[in-house]
Structure 1
Amino acid sequence: MPSTPLQQDDKSRLRRALMRQRRDLAPDEVVSASRCIQDHVFALPQWQRSETFLLYAPIHNEVDTWPLIEAAWKSERSVLLPRCRQCERGEMDLACVRTVDELQPGFQNIPEPKEHLCRPPGLFPIDVAFVPCVGVDRSGVRLGYGGGYYDRFLSRARRTGMLIVALAYAFQVVPALPSEPWDIPVDCIVTEAGSFWTPQH
């Protein structure tokens, strides 16, 4: 159901509250929860049989994805990381990254691939996209940071059959989120409590 202005205001308040709660996590809480989430990801059949993953470099106490990136590298599978376009707000490119030496601080100091390595997202076949979130509901509606980068990317990539997995702490899973027509629900949510499929899958 499209959001009303009141719902949008609620959405902004919820985003701030969830970001504050994540910011307040102690380092050992981030490590412990992230390890559980990583183990649940490794147990997914889609992780075990896929060859190309879209991942992200974590910031501000996001779920730690570096062990996933390193595991994919170790098994000689492809890791794609995003780079936000400086000249086009809400658009991002991707690069197949093989080492941390190919990264540099980018938008909001997020580790991003060096610009000369990046290509438009449509040039890459992706089996599984692991996406960050501020919040997500059990129907798969994802609450991001509000920049629209993943919304635009996912709206184009969904028709390729790519699986979309949100990595979240359990407190980030909320009963319901207002959605917009352009919102692309995720197929699966993985938290420290386990993984579960949404009605989209």
Structure 2
Amino acid sequence: MEKTQLRRSLLKKRQLMSVTEYKQKSDRICTHLLTSTLFTQAKTILAYFSFRQEPDLSFLFGNNKIWGFPRCVGDYLYWHIWTPKDSLQIGAYGISEPHPHAPTIDSTEVDLILVPCVACDYQGYRLGYGGGYYDRLLAVPEWANKTTIGIVFDFAYLPQLPIESWDKPLGAVCTETGLKYIHFDAVKS
């Protein structure tokens, strides 16, 4: 199945989840992250605000961590510090994001990136919305070796996805059934 059809099919399946199922699965994902070594050892974490029924990570926000969230500007993501007491604005694509005047985060400060995905495969490749924002981010040398976890519901964790030459595999994938380490030999929780 080509990327466009697969994306459409998985987004539809995600939208059809009941509110109860969505909340339960999101909560399980958060529990797996909270108990993982990758999360507990991280001081600065980049994440996302749930959009189009992506897994909701808001239960994690706070937890004595510094949180960064993206702003889409042109073709790139810019990362800003956000705390639960800060307000948000609606940015590109209707996604909530920090205000432009919020402090920015430098790549050297980042320990972990929680990556939103439409789907991930067993090799760590992700299917996004097609804008290429995370592909471009992870291709830049200062971001390329950051610890990454793709966040998806289990029905979107697939044996294989169609990939392009520019696709970069993620280090791990977290679903409601657990955290799957893909490109980490030394780190297990």
Give the TM-score of the pair, scaled to structure 2. Answer: 0.91
- Alignment of 1:94 onto 2:79: yes
What is residue 100 of structure 2 aligned with on the other side? 115
CA distance in 2 between partners of 1:148 and 1:18 (Å): 18
Residue pair 1:188, 1:197 contacting (<8 A) in 2 also = yes
2:168 to 184, 196, 200: 184
Gaps of 5+ in 1: 1-6
Instruction: Report the residue type matching 1:151 in the other structure.
Output: D
Residue pair 1:83, 1:118 contacting (<8 A) in 2 also = no
**Going by fraction, where is helix more abundant, 1 or 2?**
1
For residue 60 of structure 1, report the CA deviation from its aligned partner: 1.5
For residue 191 of structure 1, report the CA deviation from its aligned partner: 0.5
Gaps of 5+ in 2: 185-189
Residue pair 2:124, 2:171 contacting (<8 A) in 1 also = yes
Give the TM-score of the pair, scaled to structure 1. Answer: 0.85
1:41 is paired with a residue of what secondary structure?
helix
- Alignment of 1:43 onto 2:45: no
What is residue 84 of structure 1 aligned with on the other side? 72
Sequence identity percentage: 31
CA distance in 1 between partners of 2:70 and 2:95 (Å): 10
The total of aligned residue pairs comes to 183
What is residue 17 of structure 1 aligned with on the other side? 9
**Could you report, residue by residue, the CA deviation over 1:24-57 in whole angstroms, capped at 9, with x for unpaired residues?**
1110011010111111001111111110000100
Q: Displaced runs of 4+ in structure 1, greater than 6 A?
A: none
What is residue 167 of structure 1 aligned with on the other side? 151
